[in-house]
Amino acid sequence: MKIYLSGKLVDKDKAVVSVFDHGLLYGDGVFEGIRSYNCLVFKLKDHIDRLYRSAEAIELKIPMAKADMIKAVVKTLKANGLKDAYIRLVVTRGVGDLGLDPRKCKAPTVFIITDKISLYPKEFYRDGLAIITAKTKRNLTTALDPKIKSLNYLNNILAKIEAIKAGTQEAIMLTYNDYVAECTGDNIFIISGKKLITPPVDVGALEGITRDAVITLAQMLGIGFEEKMLKIEDLYTADEIFLTGTAAEIVPVVMIDKRRINGGKPGDITKRLMEEFKSITKTNGVKYEL
């Protein structure tokens, strides 16, 4: 496997960063998870735009133009001969010292990993997920802007540990005042009265690329849509629920906190969106050839 590391393709076992890199010491950096489908990098430009917005928000200057970053992603995919892949693109503040001062970091570190990923087994897409509500609350939006996709995921990890201990795959994270924000690694949608509903991003949810794609897809299909503040009780009484994310794509939820949703089966609108989503991954992105 070849890894792109600050301008060079290197073997996996030689792709190393300094222990003084502030991405490692403090989670000081930004990242994107991206997918390629049959030599098409899905919504690559959207992902790159979000990466640069996140970097700008933390005053991290990425040392290459967006067009060059796109070329680097494609170059790494081709070097590994991958048609279908998960891409992890990371930019850290770079090597500094043991202090917090970002001025000590002279040059950001950029690396790109391209590999296979299967977040959930196939049966979960067929039968649906059982998830829980985490006790760990989502970070305050005034403390950490959810639009920033940073390397500091400890908040999400603590909630993920709760899910693991409960024997489930995911956990819903609530805001400080108990509104639904998102899951540990995915956005969340409900279907209620044939309308698609999801929390607004300013409640503490990442503005997901797949989230936006599903909203656009629903509108194209004539499915009503609304961003709305949701309580956990709204999820318990929903007709259908599903999660979205780059790695997860669209995965149904059939149980929350041991309460069955739609009789414990994926709903028809969810299944329709899952099927239609496959079609847009074939046309919306950057093509490359092996």
Active-site residue list: 149
Listed in sequence order, the residues at least 6 apart from 157 whose beta carbon sits closer than 8 Å to its beta carbon are 184
Show the 3-state SS of 27-91: CCEEEEEEEECCCEEECHHHHHHHHHHHHHHCCCCCCCCHHHHHHHHHHHHHHCCCCCEEEEEEE
**CB burial of residue 256 (10 Å; 0-12, 13-18, 19+):** buried
Show the 3-state SS of 85-112: EEEEEEEECCECCCCCCHHHCCCCEEEE
**CB burial of residue 53 (10 Å; 0-12, 13-18, 19+):** middle
Which residue type does 179 have? Answer: Y
What does the block give as tokens for 117? 């990923």
Distance CA(29)–CA(25), nearest Å, equals 10
Distance CA(96)–CA(245), nearest Å, equals 33
CA distances to 59, 80, 88, 195, 256 from 20, rounded to whole Å, are 19, 29, 21, 49, 42
